[in-house]
Structure 1
Amino acid sequence: MNTPSLMSALAAHCSEAAAPSQGGSAAVQRAKECVLDLVALAIGGSRTEVGRLALRSKLSRSFQVDSDSTGCSILGERARLSPSDAAGLNGLLGHALQCDDGMRRAHGHPGIAVIPAALASAEASAASGRRFLSGIIGGYEVFARVGAAINPEHLSQGFHPSGTVGAIAAAAAATLVLDDGAVKALENAMALAGSVSGGLMEYSHYGDMSSYFVGGNAARIGVDAAFLAREGMAGPLTILEGKYGMAAAMANGALRHAEIASPDPHGPKILQTYTKLFSSCRHTHGAIEAALSLRKAIHSVDEVETVRVEVYRIAADECDRPVVTSLPGAESSLQLTVAAALVHGDLSLAERSYTRYRDERVRALAQRVVVVHDPTLDEALPESRPARVLVTTPSEGTMKAEVDLPRGEPERPLSWGELTAKAWTACSDVLDRDQFVRLEDAVASLETATSLRQLADAATPCRQPGANEYH
């Protein structure tokens, strides 16, 4: 396969998936579900510690667009910014609650890059709701194909796919919105974004806030790349497979051409997206579900002698964290999340706080949780993400539970009612119930919306921010 054809094939599949006649109602419906999920999470994320910090960094008078009628929306706030700044900030806010969507074969989170980029581009160009949805479907297609082509090697090299692959996907989404999939602009935007994409997994060892920044940065890069390509800037079309391309530089040479170039008989890749129920690293979710099922049979959690958590290699590498000093760290720790699930019997978004992990009973039990890499579980990837939990007590002996795929995966999807319940939980501290109903209605009617004004208005709280919040 010659060099330009690989990028051409990626652009072709992206455009085909995004076309209304090809996407089909299932893809459009899934796109709307992803939009509701991400928008609600970003609105809620605006009130988190990292969200407030990020808002203060941008919403000073030197950055804001002066008029409420210009610029692009910040989800959960009344301020407006330039397209790239708005996309970057919304992407960060969407990841702040650690509950955004993902793709297991691509090993990353497409929503935090793709949706903010599509939203900013749609507002900047007064695009319709249908074009906005098409951009999202196309962006997810790119994320899935490139992510599967270079992972897990890319991840094992220490790169954060949400930032690297996410930037290319965001560029695709923004270009589809701005230029309706013009092939030359699409190819060059993706190539430009790939050239400057980045993000490292070092946060996984420290539990710091940099992970939130990665997805937002991908959204910002994607928007900038789309506008530059629109003006005629060219990028290296060999960015994936070239001598100094992503595969060579970031994935130890791994690049599965078929993942990018081959048709998928199952339809648009957005249908492969999972939705989270728990605000923690996805690699902990199988073990959390297993622990919650075992808790029903445990007479007293205080009597638990040992907990053994058996997982696949990537989960062990990223989430075997017996010692944490922050909420992000706790939410990426198998020891803390499993212990909290056993103690509290609930790890829902509604009760998200560092307090539930600092609970003395949780801390004590976490010290008795052992994480073990079971090589036999690696064989199940990527078709499943298995986890096995064994709990031993004096009265019940050793009890075992295993989960192959956690809830929210395409094979175990959430209903629209479950999705809206999660969305309301995520943003109920910011929006009142009437506002949330308007938000839900705006998302549901995106196919026929002539602009995104209704969605933007519904995602804007009624109150003005305090005078000193951003200074």
Structure 2
Amino acid sequence: MSLALEIARRAGALDYETFDPQAIKWAKQAMADMVGCALLGANTDTTTMAIEAGAFPAGDCLVLGRQMRLGKLEAAFVNGTSGHALDYDDTSKSLSGHPTVIIVPGLLALAEELGSSGRDFVDAYIVGVETATRIARGVNFHHYEKGWHPTATLGIFGAIAAAARMMRLPDEQLANALCIGASLASGVKANFGTPVKPMHAGLAARNGLFAALLAQQGFEAAPEALEGRQGFLDVFNGAGNYDADKMLTGWGRPLDLLEPGISIKKYPCVYSVHGAIDAGIALHGSIVPSDIEGVLVRMHPRRLLPHVLNPATSALNAKFSLSYAVARALVNGAVTLDHFEDEALHDPDVVHIMNLVQMKPLDDRSNDYGAEVCVTLKDGSTLTEAVAAPLGRGPEVPLPESMLATKFMDCAGRSVTRQGAQTVFDMLMALESLPSMRDLTAEIKAGTLN
């Protein structure tokens, strides 16, 4: 039996009736977070350029945050791009990427076309997350460290499985769709800090849906396109750098949504720097920025990759700059959306401290997202703050729902009326009871400002 069919049978065996209620709760929170991020990113230059370059014809599926409807593939692409445009959407420990922004856009477009219920939507989303993260367990962290962007290269398989679930494709067609997806997966981390990174999400969302639709039509791929010679695993990871058995064990016991879980961002920047931000904010009240002589940040070496080592030179690449994020935390005691506007990069106190930041790896290699910030003052004294895990880092330190609601309103309020945003958030929090996903998109469109 091919690896794709083994995966498809495990995905097909997942049963909504057996899902832990906490997994359903996490699914709703993650999806609400992603919708809020898409409403925030709807009118960014990144999204606007993607729409204008595509010159897409009108269709039936809503573009979140705009008075525009496109075809389902085009809507999936645009909503995936806007959802990741500001790098504020959730992340997955197993995936080492952003699962929800890949899965929801295609699923939403498909649900509009089919008139699917909220329960079906939640079910398909959970299946998609489980599929993407189980595949990821067999290739990470080599896949991530090699330079692939797992949000796109692995997330696409979650988008495929979610769409196939909603379309009620048999296991054999899902397996074929996964093999089609092996040739549609793409995304390299060299493009982090540019509009191409959010485009990765848009393309993966679009291509995941496309692969499922092709399989439904009988479009055939090689059955062993994942594990075969020169297949996905050989090409993307290389022989000896993956473990197919890890992809096949433990499905749903527990669901990946619960262990290790989804992480919801508190700050609008790359998740690798959130622990250091928390530590910097904790130090803020004890220092005067002008007294700072030096700053040392220590994190897991996996977090100290090229895209976080660079200083901030643009509003977009500032989201990946560890030195900028820590400087902001120390100076302002907060890191907000406004801090990633172009004019904010020239704050003299922030620029001064950003140039003082040094980075070294933590000795404790087990603490993947922990961070330590040590500030040396001009009088020679030092202040140190260590954070084991940033708030929002999965179920063990969950972001309180009140903070999620505040984040959603802040994000959605950039393109939807406040009343409309509140109604949409309430619908998302009760999504499994929604008769039709068309009700949700209609409410979003009714409240959209532009």
Structure-to-structure mapping, 1:161-200, within 5 angstroms: 161-179=150-168, 181-200=169-188
- 1:291–1:341 Cα contact (<8 Å) kept: yes
Are 1:75 and 2:64 matched, yes or no? yes
Question: Would you say the 8 A contact 1:37–1:419 is kept in 2?
Answer: yes
- Shift of residue 120, structure 1, vs aligned partner: 1.2
The separation in 2 between residues aligned to 1:463 and 1:294, in whole angstroms, is 40
Q: Is the 8 A contact 1:153 1:252 kept in 2?
A: no
Contact 1:286/1:386, CA 8 A, preserved across alignment: yes
Q: 2: CA distance between counterparts of 1:464 and 1:280?
A: 26
- TM-score between both structures, scaled by the size of structure 2: 0.94
Check the 8 A contact 1:322/1:335 in 2, yes or no. yes
Q: What displacement does 1:461 show? A: 5.2
Number of the residue aligned with 2:341? 353
Deviations 1:166-193 (A, max 9, x none): 11111111111112x5211211112111
Which residue is 1:68 aligned to? none
Q: Kindly state the Cα deviation for residue 367 of structure 1 after the two structures are TM-superposed.
A: 0.6
Task: Give the Cα separation in 2 of the matches to 1:161 and 1:386.
Answer: 21
Of residues 277, 281, 298, the one that matches 1:292 is 281
Q: How does 1:387-402 map to 2 (within 5 A)?
A: 387-395=371-379, 397-402=381-386
Deviation at 1:262, TM superposition (A): 0.7
Q: What residue identity is the alignment partner of 1:278?
A: Y
CA shift digits 1:10-62 (9 cap, x unpaired):
22332344x2112232221111111110111101101222122223334x4x5
- Which residue identity lines up with residue 184 of structure 1 in the other structure? E
Q: Which amino acid aligns with 1:251?
A: N
Contact (CA 8 Å) 2:291, 2:377: kept in 1 or not? yes
Query: Is 1:224 aligned to residue 210 of structure 2?
Result: yes
Task: Kindly report which structure 2 residues correspond to 1:283-362, keeping only aligned pairs within 5 A, or say none.
Answer: 283-298=272-287, 300-349=288-337, 352-362=340-350
2:3 aligned with 1:9: no
Q: Which amino acid aligns with 2:211?
A: A
Q: Deviation string for 1:218-244 (max 9, x for gaps)?
A: 000011111111111222332332211
Alignment CA distance shift 1:196-1:55 (3 Å)? closer
Structure 1 residue 335: Cα displacement: 0.8
The answer for the alignment partner of 1:460 in structure 2 is 445
Matched AA of 1:267: P
Structure 1 match to 2:116: 127
Query: Residues of 1 paired with 2:255 and 2:405: CA distance?
Result: 23
Q: For 2:423, what is the secondary structure of its paired residue?
A: helix
**Segment drifting more, 388-397 vs 306-315:** 388-397
> Which residue, 64, 67, 71 being the options, matches 2:58?
64
For 1:184-263, list aligned pairs within 5 A: 184-204=172-192, 207-253=193-239, 254-263=241-250
Two-structure CA RMSD over aligned residues (Å): 1.9
Aligned residues, how many? 446
* 1:350 to 1:389, Cα distance in 2 relative to 1, 3 A: same
Decide whether the 8 Å contact of 1:46 with 1:55 is kept in 2: no
For residues 162 and 457 of structure 1, the distance between their equivalents in structure 2, rounded to whole angstroms, comes to: 28
Contact 1:144 1:269 in 2 (8 A): yes
Quote the offset at 1:464 in angstroms: 6.7
Q: Within 2, Cα distance between the matches of 1:396 and 1:277?
A: 33
Q: Give how far 1:463 is off.
A: 5.7
For residues 387 and 226 of structure 2, the distance between their equivalents in structure 1, rounded to whole angstroms, comes to: 35
Q: Percent identity?
A: 27
Structure 2 segments unaligned to the other structure (5+ residues):
none
Match of 1:38 in 2: 34
Q: What one-letter code is carried by the residue in structure 2 that aligns with 1:47?
A: N
139, 145, 168: which one aligns with 2:128: 139
Q: 2:100 aligns with which of 84, 87, 111?
A: 111
Against the structure 1 CA distance between its residues 15 and 30, is the aligned structure 2 distance closer, same or farther, given a 3 Å change threshold? farther
Distance 1:194 1:185, change over 3 A: same
Structure 1 segments unaligned to the other structure (5+ residues):
66-70, 466-471
Which amino acid is the alignment partner of residue 120 of structure 2?
A: R
State the distance in 1 between where 2:375 and 2:9 align: 50
Distance in 1 between residues matched to 2:176 and 2:217, nearest whole Å: 11
Q: 1:16 to 1:289 in 2, by over 3 A?
A: farther
Counterpart amino acid of residue 233 in structure 1: F
- Say which of 404, 408, 412 aligns to 1:423: 408
For the 8 Å contact 2:416–2:449, the answer to whether it is kept is no
Cα distance between partner residues in 1 of 2:345 and 2:13: 46
Q: State the distance in 2 between where 1:36 and 1:255 align.
A: 33
Distance in 2 (CA, whole Å) between partners of 1:53 and 1:30 is 33
* Change in 2 beyond 3 A, CA 1:345/1:9: same
